[in-house]
């Protein structure tokens, strides 16, 4: 049973602590409704879960025709209508279509902000906890208080609150409107008369006059020079072949040809220098031999003449 001082937990925590999609959704709800922590979201979820389970069980037993089932289902729908979570003349199927936001929107904190008594949802929470908000003549300091349909019009400042003064700096300005403005419905257009319908049908059937397609301009043909008829060349005579002209050598090659003999002479000089005295002796012997050979030739010439 437990001690009465420490009451049991009246909400269910999520099954897994680290779920990315759930954490993102909860953070968005905290910013939107100015909640203190995620515990308030979990409380709203458990309350919604009770409504849904009850409606699911009743839907399964409605076909039996038991009068007790009809009584319980009507009581559930009346409760949701009184709290303004569902509109009147709703069914059990509508209960299954509810979500957490439909319950969070019925808190006193959100309704004070929507009434224009606070600048932001967090400002509304501060005013409620400090005792500046009342429903009728009753002061309420619980931001999560669920407001019924009848109490919704009685929300305002307490009698002794300084915020009743219109010049108070903490009071929202007259231009500020936090109430959700409903978008005006478009006026239904009057049904067109029969004559207008006939005119529209005629305009639909009439096709617009088709403009003649302009052919693209043809490109101008290039004028070719008249070709002279080929002269009949006899089969015996062949056309003279023109001598093939050798292509002129480039300047670089000509320079190389000119430089080649000079290079050979330069290469031969060191070889002679290396020969040294051996070459000098050979030249002297050759010079000595030449006069003897000349004498022999002259003697032989004289014998031949004789």
Identify the pLDDT of residue 2. 65
| Positive/negative CA dihedral, 68, 70, 72, 78 | negative
Domain boundary (58, 78, 104) is at: 104
pLDDT above 70: residue 31: yes
What would the DSSP string read from start to end of 194-257?
HHHHHHHHHHHHSPPPPPPPPPPPPPPPPPPPPPPPPP---SSSPPPPPPPPPPPPPHHHHHHH
* CA–CA gap between residue 242 and residue 237 (Å, rounded): 15
Question: What average pLDDT does range 285-292 have in this prediction?
Answer: 54
The helix/strand/coil state of 35 is: coil
What pLDDT is stored for residue 278 in this prediction?
A: 47
Give domain status of residue 168, yes or no: yes
Q: What is the per-residue pLDDT for 59?
A: 95
Residue 208 counted as domain residue:
no
Is 157 contained in some domain?
Answer: yes
Residue with the bigger pLDDT between 213 and 9: it is 9
Phi, psi angle pair for 239, to nearest 5°:
-65, 140
pLDDT > 80? residue 240: no
| Integer Cα distance of 246 and 258 in angstroms | 19
Question: 72 and 145, same structural domain?
Answer: no
Which of 72, 104, 136 terminates a domain? The answer is 104
Residues 112 and 79 in one domain: no
Q: Is the pLDDT of residue 190 over 50?
A: no
Q: The domain containing residue 95 runs over which residues?
A: 8-104
pLDDT at position 5 is 78
Assign residue 174 the CATH number of its domain: 3.10.290.10
- Report the pLDDT averaged over residues 165-188: 61
pLDDT in tens, 33-80: 999 999 999 999 999 999 999 999 999 999 888 999 999 999 999 999
Same domain, 54 and 118: no
pLDDT score, position 10: 84
What's 146's DSSP letter? B
Specify which residues 146 forms β-bridges with. Answer: 107
CA angle (238 as vertex; 234, 239 as ends), nearest 5: 110
Where is mean pLDDT largest: 52-61, 269-278, 287-296?
A: 52-61
**Cα gap 262→268, rounded to integer Å:** 10
Same domain, 15 and 48: yes
Q: Say whether both 111 and 91 belong to one domain.
A: no
Q: Are residues 43 and 99 in the same domain?
A: yes
Q: What band does 221 get if pLDDT is binned at 50, 70 and 90?
A: low
Count of Cβ atoms closer than 10 Å to residue 54 Cβ: 16
pLDDT of residue 296: 59
- Give the separation between CA 119 and CA 173, rounded to whole angstroms: 9
Q: Average pLDDT of the chain?
A: 76
CA separation for the pair 79, 58 (Å, rounded): 15
Q: How would you label 35-52 residue by residue, b for 16+ Cβ within 10 Å and e otherwise?
A: beebebbbbbbebbeebe
Least reliable range by pLDDT among 50-64, 76-90, 218-232: 218-232
Residues 86 and 51 in one domain: yes
Residues 108 and 131: their CA atoms lie apart, in Å, by: 13
Residue 187 pLDDT > 60, yes or no? Answer: no
- Please determine, for residue 195, whether its predicted confidence score (pLDDT) is greater than 50: yes
Q: Count how many domains the chain has.
A: 3
Mean pLDDT of the 251-271 span = 56
Q: Verify that 98 and 112 share a domain, yes or no.
A: no
Quick one: pLDDT at residue 9?
84
Residues 116-154 pLDDT 10s? 999 999 999 999 999 999 999 999 999 999 999 999 999
Q: Is residue 245 part of a domain?
A: no
CA distance 32 to 111: 13
Please give the share of the chain, as a percent, with pLDDT higher than 90.
Answer: 50
Rounded Cα gap, residues 93 and 59, in angstroms = 8
Q: Is the pLDDT reported for residue 193 higher than 90?
A: no
Are the C-beta atoms of 33 and 79 separated by less than 8 Å? no
Q: pLDDT at position 173, please?
A: 78
Q: Is 118 part of a structural domain of the chain?
A: yes
Q: Could you tell me which residues come within 8 angstroms of residue 137 by beta carbon, excluding any fewer than 6 positions away?
A: 159
Which residues, at least 6 apart from 90, have a Cβ–Cβ distance to it below 8 Å?
77, 80, 81
User: Is 159 inside any structural domain?
Assistant: yes
- Both 75 and 119 in one domain: the answer is no
Indicate the residue among 124, 145, 180 that finishes a domain: 180
> 139 - beta bridge partners?
134
- More confident site: 217 or 114: 114
Tell me the residue length of the chain: 306
Residue 7: per-residue pLDDT: 80
CA 120 to chain centre: 33
Q: What pLDDT does residue 81 have?
A: 96
Query: Residues 77, 135: one domain?
Result: no
* The pLDDT of residue 142: 96
Please report whether residue 253 resides in a domain: no
15 and 99, same domain (yes or no):
yes
Are both 59 and 97 inside the same structural domain? yes
Does a structural domain hold residue 72? yes
pLDDT score recorded for residue 4: 77
Helix axes 20-33, 39-61, angle to 10 degrees: 110
Question: How confident is the model at residue 129, as a pLDDT?
Answer: 96
């Amino acid at each position: 049973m437990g001690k009465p001082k420490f009451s049991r937990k009246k909400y269910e925590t999520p099954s897994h602590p680290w779920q990315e999609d759930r954490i993102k959704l909860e953070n968005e709800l905290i910013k939107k409704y100015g909640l203190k922590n995620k515990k308030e979201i979990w409380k709203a979820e458990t309350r919604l879960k009770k409504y849904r389970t009850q409606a699911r069980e009743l839907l399964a037993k409605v076909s039996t025709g038991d009068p007790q089932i009809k009584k319980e289902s009507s009581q559930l729908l009346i409760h949701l209508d009184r709290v303004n979570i569902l509109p009147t003349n709703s069914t059990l199927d509508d209960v299954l279509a509810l979500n957490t936001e439909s319950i969070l929107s019925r808190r006193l904190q959100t309704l004070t902000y929507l009434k224009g008594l606070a600048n932001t949802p967090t400002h509304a929470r501060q005013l409620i906890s400090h005792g500046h908000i009342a429903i009728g003549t009753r002061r309420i300091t619980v931001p999560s208080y669920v407001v019924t349909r009848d109490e919704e019009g009685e929300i305002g400042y307490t009698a002794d609150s300084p915020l009743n003064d219109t010049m108070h700096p903490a009071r929202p300005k007259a231009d500020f409107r936090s109430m959700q403005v409903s978008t005006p419905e478009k006026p239904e257009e009057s049904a067109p008369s029969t004559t207008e319908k006939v005119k529209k049908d005629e305009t639909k059937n009439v096709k617009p006059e088709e403009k003649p397609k302009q052919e693209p301009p043809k490109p101008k043909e290039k004028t070719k020079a008249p070709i002279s008829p080929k002269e009949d060349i006899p089969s015996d005579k062949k056309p003279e072949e023109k001598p093939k002209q050798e292509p002129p050598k480039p300047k670089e090659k000509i320079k190389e040809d000119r430089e080649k003999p000079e290079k050979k002479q330069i290469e031969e000089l060191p070889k002679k220098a290396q020969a040294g005295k051996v070459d000098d002796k050979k030249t002297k012997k050759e010079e000595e031999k030449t006069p003897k050979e000349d004498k022999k030739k002259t003697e032989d010439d004289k014998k031949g003449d004789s």
